[in-house]
Amino acid sequence: MKFFVDTAVIEEIRELNDLGMVDGVTTNPSLILKSGRNILEVTREICELVSGPVSAEVVASKAEDMIAEGRKLVEIAPNIAVKVPLTWDGLKACKVLSDEGYMVNVTLCFSANQALLAAKAGATFISPFIGRLDDQSFDGLDLIEDIRTIYDNYDFKTQILAASIRTVNHVAECAKIGADVMTAPPSVIKALAKHMLTDSGLAQFNADWAKTGQSIL
Ligand code: E4P
């Protein structure tokens, strides 16, 4: 499973990228706001840092305007994936931009039928939002499973990009189901390394090592 990092903060991306943990980046208008940066400038910097797909989201609501914004965004770098919302206009923009050879990430997906439409419109990535479904008492992981089944049934090439990931369990479950990609905030990616038994085991080793009076260096 590929790891995308869900942030527009350069330092956060750099730290994870240096560890080889970043296969791509996702941004959205809220993350751009949080970064305090200009969308074109910060996206260019991200693309210089990361060679994998970098999702940059359109903000228009009409297809023709989304297409114009998408064409501007792809001028930033060849690894831009244009993010469009899962609306009828977004699907139209997806089809046009995909046919022009650009990567398209269809975002704000909350149902299997929406994912089916995105695949038929030629999406490179579909982004089902797990956490936001969980927030509304649905099971976001069920949606990932349903989309996996449907895409496999018909051999759709659209990659399932599990988004709105809030917990470390979301990551493991998505990997078990077979999501192609997951995007998570840096805090969740870092939390994947943590385990209470690792911490307590290390504390024991350190205590015993101190008693030996030895040193390695
Ligand atoms: C990624 O592409 C999405 O924009 C992101 O995962 C949304 O996450 P949130 O629901 O935590 O805002």
Query: Is the CB of residue 71 less than 8 Å from the CB of residue 61?
Result: no
Number of domains in the chain: 1
pTM above 0.95, yes or no: yes
pLDDT tens column, 129-178: 999 999 999 999 999 999 999 999 999 999 999 999 999 999 999 999 99
Q: Which contiguous run of DSSP H or E holds residue 157?
A: none
At 25, which CATH number?
3.20.20.70
Confidence of residue 106 (pLDDT cuts 50, 70, 90): very high
Confidence band of 56 (pLDDT split at 50, 70, 90) = very high
Nearest CA to ligand 1 atom 9: 164
CA of 100 to the centre of ligand 1 (A): 26
Q: Which domain holds residue 147?
A: 2-209
**Domain-located, residue 193:** yes
Question: Would residue 217 count as lying in a domain?
Answer: no
* Residue 188 amino acid letter: V
pLDDT of residue 182: 98
Q: Relative to the CA of 132, which ligand 1 atom is closest?
A: 10
| DSSP string for 60-77 | -SSHHHHHHHHHHHTTS-
Please indicate, yes or no, if residue 216 is contained in any of the structural domains.
Answer: no
